[in-house]
Amino acid sequence: MRIHHGASLILNRGADYALGQEPLRNVDGYTATTTSSDLEDPRWHCFVVVDTGPGQSLLSDYSVDTRDIPGMTHEKACDRAQAAAAMMLENLRAAQH
C-alpha cells in the first residue's frame, strides 16, 4: 500500500479557486476548503486548500493507491490532509521565528 501526502505553497493563487466545491473548514485559524482531482477517486483522495493570504494558499493532499482500507471515505482522506496542512502551518510559523 502506498500512502501519499503532498504539500505546495501557491504564491500566485488564493484558495478561492476551490471554493464552492465542499464545506469550509478551519485549519489552525485559516479558512480552507476541500476538493478532489477529476483524475482520482474521491473516496481515496482529497485536496485541502488553505487560504493563507491575498493571492496565496497552501495545498495539502492525501491519497492511497489501494482500495482495501476498511471504511476509507473522502471525509477521512480530507481529515488526514487537513492534519498535514495544520502541521505545515505550524512548521512555517516556527521557521519565521
Task: Give the separation between CA 32 and CA 86, rounded to whole angstroms.
Answer: 11
Do 62 and 41 meet the contact criterion of CB atoms below 8 Å apart? no
Q: Which residue has the higher pLDDT, 25 or 13?
A: 25
Mapping DSSP to helix (H, G, I), strand (E, B) and coil, where does residue 66 land? coil
d(CA 25, CA 48): 9
What's the number of domains the chain is made of? 1
Whether residue 67 is contained in a domain is answered as no
Q: What is the tens place of the pLDDT at every residue in 14-31?
A: 666 666 656 788 899 998
Residues in Cβ contact with 57 at an 8 Å cutoff, skipping those fewer than 6 apart: 9, 10, 13, 14, 15, 49, 50, 51
What are phi and psi for residue 81, nearest 5 degrees? -65, -35
Residue at 91 is within a domain: no
Residue 19 lies inside a defined structural domain of this protein: yes
Say if 27 falls within a structural domain. yes
Give me the count of residues in the chain.
97
For residue 48, the enclosing domain spans: 1-62
Q: Which pTM does this prediction carry? A: 0.79
Residue 70 in any domain: the answer is no
- pLDDT tens-digit profile of 26-85? 899 998 988 887 777 777 889 898 988 888 888 998 888 777 777 788 888 899 999 999
Please check whether residue 8 lies inside any domain of the structure.
yes
